[in-house]
Amino acid sequence: MPPQQQTGTNTTPETIAPSINSWSADYLDSMRRDWEKNPESVTKDWQDFFNGFELGRSIDPMQSDSDSLRNEQANVDSLMYQYRATGHYIADIDPLKKIQKDEEPFSLSNFNLSSTHLDEMFDPGHLAITNPSSLRDIIQKLSDIYCRHIGVEYLHIENRKQRRWLQSKMEPNSNKPAFASNVQKRILRKLIEASTLEHFCSTRYIGKKRFSLEGSESLIPMIQELINCASLQETEVITIGMAHRGRINVLVNILHKTYDQLFTEFEESWTEDYVEGGGDVKFHLGYSADLMTDEGKPLHVTLASNPSHLEFGHSVVLGKARARQRIQHDDRRKLCIPLLIHGDASFPGQGIVAEMFNMAHLDGYNVGGTIHFVVNNQIGFTTNPHDSYSGRYCTDIAKMVGAPIFHVNGDDPEACVHAVQMAVEYRQTYRNDVIVDIWSYRKHGHNESDEPAYTQPEMYNDIRKHKPVTELYAEQLIKQKIITESQRQEMIHEIRDFLDESQQRVIDHPVYPNIPPFRTKTIWEGLVGDAIQRVVDTTVSTQELVKIAKALGTTPESFTPHKKLRKLLAYRGNSITEETSLDWAMGELLAYGSLLIEGSAVRLTGQDVERGTFSHRHAVMFDNQTGAQHIAINSIQKSQALMCIHNSPLTESACL
């Protein structure tokens, strides 16, 4: 039962069996037969799994001590699997501590063990602990790894190498690495920047909407850490998509949009030039910046514009990432990482998210993995989780692509940063999606003028009493003697003074609040506002048309086209020289070919576009004997751009 639906009566969740999660019955049966012939022919995971079945057999009272020890070891192995698979059930991930944890699946009696076994010695297998170790120490180690401030779902991943890799990142350090003091100070600085900005705006611009990040401030040091980590792993560009919650904070404290620009928008002291794209609210427009990371690496970061329709801008971000990878000839898809920031209600609630996941591994849409942050403030406007999604977590849908999911307590910034470090390295290593689910809360209502206590009185009574994460972390560092209270206050006053000076400055001297369109020295240079009025020469010489037509009518000597297409090939090859009338498909392909000759790449996607809905285009042909593809339009001449053409899934939104 999902945690948000639990009542005072515990309901035992069903045991998560590997055959249910990942493997077919035939595959399981095949592995079982191999194990019966030779246990060493399968991996230790499988050996442990099949050994577990022996628990259901009757035990001979006269069995030897060695048989008993083997059975007890198998029981311990099963318990260890339970912690790795479902330790997140009892992880301390909710800052408000409202989830009722179900400890029953971890009861020793479920594994034919008891308290008398706690001090007996067992083989911990791959667990990073002394071998042998007492059962007590094994349980403590597993609890430290999987049941503290990071709950992990990863055993649904089919690839054993990936599961082992994740274990190697979590288990040796008990999922709690020791951060250097300079990293801890950097985390605190970003938290103070985030919280001070929110507090300043709440006192200077009372009643004005900003969709505060308060309660989820750990998002800011998390994004900063992602930028730092990515820059050290070959990344040159990060494209970000997010809705309105916390967007102002990200614009200023991550992309370095100036306080002057932000306060000009709050003061409403700028006359917008609507022709150049102004006039939208401050939490819709995007921004781009060339940053120098904390590690001294240059990185371009861009935040896409996004309407209030939450997830709809995210598929555009993935398209931008794919385009950048294509421009950079990045077949490994490491140079550009897409980061999508979701809400806990929109992630499971909006169908476009499922569409994007369905496209994640398709040849025409693969971006080498997306990093997803879910700002999980445990409420959607006024809707509680049990009315928002049917699964245990709002992130369950991500399992369809075998993505690891880190559920992390937003009140533990170091746990959040550690999860980000693993997420970036995993994405760069395995080119797959990865989820970081940030359990936090929303200090105010949906916006600052909304009253949330109408519908969630208990929750907001707890929130009013809850100490902000910035204070909690500062107190932790003071206790560890990393900083002093005076140093903390100095940081707060420094940022506060900077904000105050900026606000006073723009009252008399407002500044342009956005990036000047088409004026920066980038790929957009030269695309000025009057481009639409320019006269463009679109003529194509007969000689070029003949060349394109000939290519469209030609296949390699080893290629066997379908017999019904031979007539079409002959028509296309001779269509210009014989001055025959052109059908729509031929006219379209000639136009595409002329662009390719000029060096302009063409991308065409959609349902059945390779053949064409009406069997008219046949831009991609298939060898009638081998099934090999041939895209004739990409063989016009040696020096030309290429056409990318891909059939799309039956998708209504994200493909666009």
Asked if residue 59 has pLDDT above 70, the reply is no
Whole-number average pLDDT of the chain: 89
**What would the DSSP string read from start to end of 69-87?**
HHHHHHHHHHHHHHHHHHG
SS (H, E, C) 352-415: HHHHHHHHCCCCCCCCCCCEEEEEECCCECCECHHHCCCCCCCCHHHHHHCCCEEEEECCCHHH
- Statement to judge: residues 138 and 282 lie in one domain: no
CATH of the domain at 290: 3.40.50.970
- Statement to judge: residues 165 and 189 lie in one domain: no
pLDDT at 188: 98
Asked if residue 48 has pLDDT above 90, the reply is no
Give the pLDDT confidence of 512-544 residue by residue, as tens digits.
Answer: 887 665 445 565 565 555 556 678 889 999 999
Q: Of 150, 170, 190, which residue sits at a domain end?
A: 170
Asked if residue 221 has pLDDT above 80, the reply is yes
- Statement to judge: residues 139 and 101 lie in one domain: yes
- Statement to judge: residues 161 and 189 lie in one domain: no
- Expressed as residue numbers, the domain containing 140 is 3-170
Q: Is residue 349 part of a domain?
A: yes
Q: How many CB atoms lie within 10 A of CB 614?
A: 9
Asked if residue 447 has pLDDT above 90, the reply is no
Q: Is residue 514 part of a domain?
A: no
Q: Give the span between the Cα atoms of 45 and 414, in whole angstroms.
A: 31
Q: Of 151, 170, 189, which residue sits at a domain end?
A: 170
Give the pLDDT confidence of 69-122 residue by residue, as tens digits.
Answer: 789 999 999 999 999 999 999 999 999 999 888 899 999 999 999 999 999 999
Calculate mean pLDDT across residues 391-399: 96
pLDDT at 62: 47
Pairing between β-strand 371-376 and β-strand 298-303 as defined by DSSP bridges: unpaired
- Statement to judge: residues 21 and 79 lie in one domain: yes
- Statement to judge: residues 224 and 100 lie in one domain: no
Give the pLDDT confidence of 469-521 residue by residue, as tens digits.
Answer: 999 999 999 999 999 999 999 999 999 999 999 999 998 899 888 766 544 55
Asked if residue 255 has pLDDT above 60, the reply is yes
Q: Is residue 598 part of a domain?
A: yes
- Statement to judge: residues 211 and 311 lie in one domain: yes
Give the pLDDT confidence of 607-640 residue by residue, as tens digits.
Answer: 899 999 999 999 999 999 999 999 999 999 999 9
Q: Of 170, 205, 224, which residue sits at a domain end?
A: 170
- Statement to judge: residues 161 and 223 lie in one domain: no
CB 87 within 8 A of CB 147: yes
pTM: 0.86
pLDDT at 219: 98
pLDDT at 23: 55
Range scoring the smallest mean pLDDT among 24-28, 540-544, 562-566: 24-28
Give the pLDDT confidence of 270-325 residue by residue, as tens digits.
Answer: 766 544 555 566 777 889 999 999 889 999 999 998 877 679 899 999 999 999 99
Give the pLDDT confidence of 344-393 residue by residue, as tens digits.
Answer: 999 999 999 999 999 999 999 999 999 999 999 999 989 889 899 999 99
